[in-house]
Chain A
Amino acid sequence: MAVIKIDKLTKYYGASRGVEDLSLEVKQGEIFGYLGPNGAGKTTTIRCLLGLIFPTGGKATVMGHDIVHESFKVRQNIGYIPGDLNLYPKMTGEELLEYFSRFRPDKPAVLKDDLVTRFDLDLTRKTKELSRGNKQKLIIILALMHDPDLLILDEPTLGLDPLMQKEFYKVLREFQARGKTVFLSSHILPDVEKTCERVGIVKEGKLVAIEDVKAVETKKIRHIEVTFLDTVKKEEFDIDGVSVIQANDHEFKLKVKGKIDPVIKVMAKHQVADTIIEHASLEEIFLEFYGEVTR
């Protein structure tokens, strides 16, 4: 059963494009990644699903309810983490959670205490006094505490430290294990890889592909800078998917598409003085693999 069904969704802000003819389905119990560079239309899609903005064309249903005409029913069973983090500054964390829980009298905040413990958050402080990371924890608890059937998450790990990110992904997998569905929007590929099975890739307002996350893995690009103590021949890096950007006898700059293992094996044959390995930006990956979107 499709929990989210989007059919040719189009949203224009005046003359500027939000999303165009976007169609996709998210199945019950899956963690679906929604990946795209900044400005691609991810947030526009999410805001349409939540009834915060209204589509210019097309239609969509969430849990069988039309997003425009039955928006109230849609929101009854959703947990939402917005990309822009704005909270009521004068409320304490406890007051904020209490305030919002009263909008769902039939859905008690059954997970609140557990989540507060796991994310180690002090609820007695006013939200204006919280750091970016702690605000993010608060909004995560707010979205998840009533154990919704669908989570719609827009860049949910922004500001979280690696330990908390790990805990967050663990919580998501627990949700999935209970049959819940997660729609996770991000512009960070590794974030999506950690949790999702399928990934919708959106660029310039259009869905360019829906891929298995393993397929996305093969499209990973890494930049490697390596300094050797001994002399290394350029030809040693004649490996499929590897381009030598810059080279001398000791220093190499490489661009690696797909698996990194063959490069590591070559490097391991020599004495390595230093190395830096960086993931390419999503924009670069998109340019490499998905090219320009034809209009």
Chain B
Amino acid sequence: MNLNLIYRDIKDRRVSMFMMSMSVLLYALVIIAIYPVFAGNAAFAQIFKQYPKALLSLLAGGGNADFFSPAGFLSIEFLSLWWPIIVGAYVMTLATAIVAKEINDGTMDVLLSQPLERWKLMTSRLAADVTLIFALDAVTMVGIWLFARAYAVEISTKGLFATGILALSMFIFLECLSLFFGMIMDRSKALITSITVFIGSHLLNALSDLNKTVAKFRWMSFFKYYKPAAALTTGEVPWKDVALFLGLAAAFAIAAYIAFRRKDIPAT
């Protein structure tokens, strides 16, 4: 690892990281603040009963949706879809910046003309990104914990911890997947491909509840292994899913390095 690179990367991203944290916290605050109003209103329950199953499944990211428990509401309105979308987009942007952005910007020439091994460049930047992802994940969970107490919404600390661990592993997987795409294609294509995989994965998972043929392919969706509602409710870390995400992350990181090790850096 190269501390110079790690420090620089974190410093460069401090503003975007702050903005992202504020956005996520604000969103979490709104969701938690409206939950008591929502839960105590019988009319809402009637309306939601009439919602098509497909829509509920889409919002919940697949599986049964319980809008009226604190954990279910938070999961459906925030942790299952919108939060992964917001943080996922940020993660994909970070990951494709590790190598692809420097190549696109033409700054990789000077950087790689320094006595810096390629594996160190990649792992240091990956470490910087994982630090940022961890911070964003932690800020979100701590924020939810504080807001939940402020609005007397029952969200368990253990549940938040378990969800935080699961989400962190999923975002690290996303980071490594996008990093790999960034090694084998230019940045814009890598971003588009990552977003396509992300959206496709979510749709595959959501539609699996509605169609038996689609359900056969559900295992291919990484959202199948990301179940924040269960983690929030039980307070148990789904270690098998976490291990799967981290295993896949390691595989994509290794594949990314293999691609980078002998990658020609094109002149701009």
Chain B 88-116 interface mask (CB, 8 Å, partner A; 1/0): 00000000000000000111111011111
Kindly list chain B residues whose C-beta atoms are within 8 Å of the C-beta of A13: 264
Q: B116 touches which one: A52, A86, A88, A103 (CB < 8 A)?
A: A103
Any A CB within 8 A of the CB of B53: no
Say whether, besides A72-B115, A103-B115, A103-B116, A139 and B110 are in contact (CB < 8 Å): yes
B121 to chain A, nearest CB (A): 10
A86 and B112 contact, Cβ closer than 8 Å, known pairs A43-B267, A52-B264, A103-B4: no
| Pairwise interchain contact B110-A142, C-beta atoms closer than 8 A | yes
Q: A93-117 CB contact bits vs B (8 Å, 1 = yes)?
A: 0000001101110000000000000
User: Contact: B113 with A78, CB < 8 Å?
Assistant: yes
Chain B residues positioned under 8 Å from A54 (CB to CB)? 262, 264
Which A residues are CB-close (under 8 A) to B12? 90
B149 at interface, CB cutoff 8 A? no
Is the pair A52, B114 in contact by a Cβ cutoff of 8 Å?
no
Q: Is the CB of B105 within 8 A of A80?
A: no
**Contact pick for A87, options B107, B113, B262, CB 8 Å:** B107
Q: How many residues of B contact A (CB 8 A)?
A: 21
Shortest Cβ distance from residue A11 to the other chain B in the assembled complex, whole angstroms: 9
Nearest B residue (CB) for A52: B265
Residues of A within 8 A of B8 (CB): 99
B123 to chain A, nearest CB (A): 15
B117 contacts chain A at the CB level, 8 A cutoff: yes
Kindly report which residue of chain A lies nearest to residue B264, judged by CB atoms: A53
- CB-CB under 8 A for A51 and B112, given A43-B267, A84-B267: yes
Choose one: A50, A90, A104, A139; the contact of B112 (CB below 8 Å).
Answer: A50
CA distance in complex: A88, B8 (Å): 12
Given contacts A47-B267, A76-B115, A100-B114, contact A86 B4 (CB under 8 A): no
Does A82 touch B at the CB level, under 8 Å? Answer: yes
Quick check: is A75 within 8 A (CB to CB) of the other chain? yes
Q: Is A53's CB under 8 angstroms from B114's CB?
A: no
Q: Using a Cβ cutoff of 8 Å, how many contacts connect chains A and B?
A: 62
Give the Cβ gap from B104 to chain A, nearest Cβ, in Å. Answer: 10
List A contacts of B116 (CB < 8 A). Answer: 72, 75, 103
B11 CB, min distance to chain A CBs, angstroms:
10
Contact indicator B106/A75 (Cβ below 8 Å):
no
Output the nearest chain B residue to A82 by Cβ-Cβ distance.
B109
User: A80: nearest residue on chain B (CB-CB)?
Assistant: B113
For residue B117, which residues in chain A have a CB less than 8 angstroms away from its CB? 72
Alpha-carbon distance between A76 and B114 when the two chains are bound, in angstroms:
7
Out of B2, B106, B114, name the residue touching A86 (CB < 8 Å): B106
The answer to whether B262 and A103 have CB atoms under 8 Å apart is: no
CB neighbours (8 Å) of B267 from chain A are 43, 47, 83-84
Q: Considering only CB atoms, which chain A residue lies closest to B268 in the complex?
A: A84
B223-263: which have CB < 8 Å to A? 262
Roughly how many angstroms separate A52 CA and B110 CA in the complex, as a whole number? 10
Interface residues of A in 196-219 (CB under 8 A from B): none
- List B contacts of A76 (CB < 8 A): 115
Q: A18: nearest residue on chain B (CB-CB)?
A: B264
Shortest distance between the CB of A260 and any CB in chain B (Å): 36
| A86 touching B265, Cβ below 8 Å | no
Cβ contacts A to B, 10 pairs, < 8 Å: A43-B267, A47-B265, A51-B112, A52-B264, A52-B265, A53-B265, A72-B117, A82-B110, A86-B268, A87-B107
Contacts beyond the supplied A86-B106, A103-B114: 16 A-B pairs with Cβ under 8 Å: A13-B264, A50-B113, A52-B265, A54-B264, A75-B115, A78-B113, A80-B109, A80-B110, A80-B113, A82-B110, A86-B109, A87-B107, A88-B107, A99-B8, A103-B116, A104-B115
